[in-house]
Amino acid sequence: MNKNNLTGFVFASPWIIGFLAFTLYPLCASLYYGFTDFNVFQSPRFVGLDNYRDLMGDDLFWKSIRNTLYLTVISTPVNLIFALLTAMLLNTRIRGLSVYRTVYYIPTIIPLAATSLLWMWIMNGQYGLLNKLLGWVGLPQPGWFSDPAYSKMSLILMGLWGVGNIIIIFLASLQEVPQSLYESASIDGAGGFRKFRHITIHWISPIILFQLIMQVINNLQYFTQAYFVISSSNLNQVSGGPENSLLMYAVYLYQNAFIYFKMGKASAMAWILFVMAGILTWIIFKSSKRWVTYGGGD
Amino acid sequence: MKTRLLRQKTATHAILIVLGLSFVAPFLWMLLTSIKSLEEITSLPVTIWPEIFRWRNYADVFDVIPFTRYFWNTLLITGLSVIGQLISAPLVAYAITKIEWFGAKWIFPIVIGTMLLPYQVTMIPVYLIFQKLHLTGSIWPLVIPTFTAAPLYIFLLRQFFMGLPTSLIHAAKIDGANDYRIYWSVVLPLTRPALASVAIFTFLYTWSDFMGPLLYINKAKQYTLTLGLQAFLAEHYTEWGLLMAASALFTLPIVVVFFFAQKQFVEGISLTGIKG
């Protein structure tokens, strides 16, 4: 057993070292920095709750929270529902399945940098493709990213282009639902919607839960796309897009840390994000007892 | 009944095709824009098909943006990261699935926990560690962590290892092989398909990463493609022809890898996504 402990330790050592150096220590350090005044050039000075108090009175901080929650609350369900509906359409023993699957999946492997550039161009208010198409059918043609009323919607629309991997995951789990369940439900006289609720959702609920949590966590950290859009409209990189409507939490945190060098304030923000992510995950888990069932399949 | 079924199938195809077109259209728009001249791009009405095919945009990308340099910088970081994950992740996955020791039980829950940890929470202290080591401004802060096994790949390989029969390892043990030997000559060769998935996902992630290079790379000659694109965007906001040509060239390697390795993609996704 002792020998096994040593062998196990040797095999796990890359992770153990990484965990201590790049996760556990940084986690504690950022908690501590959150209570300090720290600008990298001088060593941190303990200031108690000052950073947190500062943040409470910082309009941009609240703006960034509102922007990020707005994005999370809208884009998460929109993405999941769109992916599920598409996966269900693909799961009808349709011909050419692999072609459709490939077409829907490819956008998700495109680097977010390129995706952002491409969609900024598609949604360009003056010369963009989208407004050209909208013009053909006589719909209004907003400025999209440059209009604060539409800028977050533009990000959400762009995000829909990248749900292919969720479609694939949903499709794979739909394919595991035993057909016999549907057949016996039909014999019992169940309609399409009841079958969907009681068999489909029931069966794949653990996968929906997992995707829901990952979507929420990723959306809370939304950065690259917003950063790209912002940097096109302002050369000094310290901006939040039109009327700060694209100032996402992670972007504002980055600006505080690496442009203003307010490492203490940024660390406090990091811990607030951590707590927010924890609470949201906890709420989802808690509610999942009502709608997620294990043991149906796996 | 039969006609109803047929109608249903047709409707499904119609929806899927329209959807498919809207997934493809952005790519076409990227390619069409990439061969338009600046005058055509900035004149109204907007044209769909280029009036003149300006293939020179692609050549210009190499003149205006140090594309080849960015390409090699990105490839170097990506290659080293793939090596890092391929060395470290299977070791750790083996430790928590095939060795009976006290860490086997408690490492995995922590790995899952770190998957949910936002990047920003550890970002600043990790940056300061590398600054203390005088490594900021180099590629090492991007590469070194990949040798400590990313949670996602530990997870993926764990799922794979759990499917390997234990009898195989027992048999090798009876023959007198130790864990190092078993790992190297029995388990790893069987793991090739899962390792291929790890390599591809690492490639994809690193090739596309923006935040990492943004934090650590500060000299233009070390820029990765994502940083280069961002810098170009900030300076030449209106030159969409060039930007689209650069984006197309940037995306091309990934699309090529995808078509060669579609099977590993799909297998990798099902290993990580399903048995949550």
Chain B residues close to A126, C-beta within 8 Å: 44
Give the CA count within 13 Å in the CB-facing half-sphere of A151: 22
Are B210 and A40 an interchain contact pair (Cβ–Cβ within 8 Å)? Answer: no
The pLDDT assigned to B1 comes to 61
B175 phi and psi, to 5 degrees?
-75, 0
**Residue A37 backbone phi and psi in degrees, to 5:** -95, 120
What does the pLDDT look like over A168-183, one tens digit per residue? 889 988 988 888 888 8
CA distance A186 to A182: 6
Domain covering A50-291 in this structure, CATH number:
1.10.3720.10
Interface test with A, best of B32, B83, B124, B173 (most A CBs within 10 A): B124
b (16+ CB within 10 A) / e for B177-192? bebeebbeebbeeebe
Whether residue A141 lies within 8 A of chain B, CB to CB, comes out as no
**Mean pLDDT of all residues in chain B?**
87
What ipTM was predicted for this assembly?
0.89
Task: Provide the CA A164 distance to its chain's centre, in angstroms.
Answer: 14
Find which of A170-179, B75-84, B213-222 is predicted with most confidence, using mean pLDDT: B75-84
Q: Is there a contact between A277 and B19 if contact means CB atoms under 8 Å apart?
A: no
pLDDT surpasses 70 at A210 = yes
Tell me, yes or no, if A294 comes closer than 8 A to chain B by beta carbon.
Answer: no
Per CB-CB distance under 8 Å, the chain B contacts of A131 are 46
Cis peptide before A142 (omega within 30 of 0): no
Q: Which residues in chain B (48-67) have CB-CB distances under 8 A to chain A? A: 48
pLDDT digits (tens, 9 = 90+) for A117-165: 999 989 988 888 888 888 888 888 888 888 888 899 999 999 999 999 8
Run of H or E residues at A46 = strand A45-46
pLDDT value of residue B87: 96
d(CA A92, CA A200): 13
Residue A197 is classified by DSSP as I
Nearest to A223 by CA among B228, B208, B198: B208
Mean pLDDT of B171-195: 87
Most confident of A70-74, B14-18, B247-251: A70-74
The DSSP code for A237 is S
* B42 against A163, higher pLDDT: A163
Residue appearing with tokens 């899927």: B16
The two three-digit tokens of residue B31, written as one number: 């390619």
pLDDT at B266: 72
Chain segment A229-273, per-residue pLDDT in tens = 888 765 455 678 788 889 999 999 999 999 999 999 999 999 999
Which pTM value belongs to this model?
A: 0.90
Q: Which residue has the tokens 């900035």?
A: B42
Fold of B66-273: MetI-like fold (1.10.3720)
Residue A296 has pLDDT above 70, yes or no: no
Helices and strands in chain A, H and E counts: 15, 2
Do B92 and A258 make contact, defined as CB atoms within 8 angstroms? Answer: no
Q: Give the residue extent of every domain in chain A.
A: 50-291
Q: Are A161 and B23 a contacting pair at CB < 8 A?
A: yes
Domain residue ranges in chain B: 2-58, 66-273
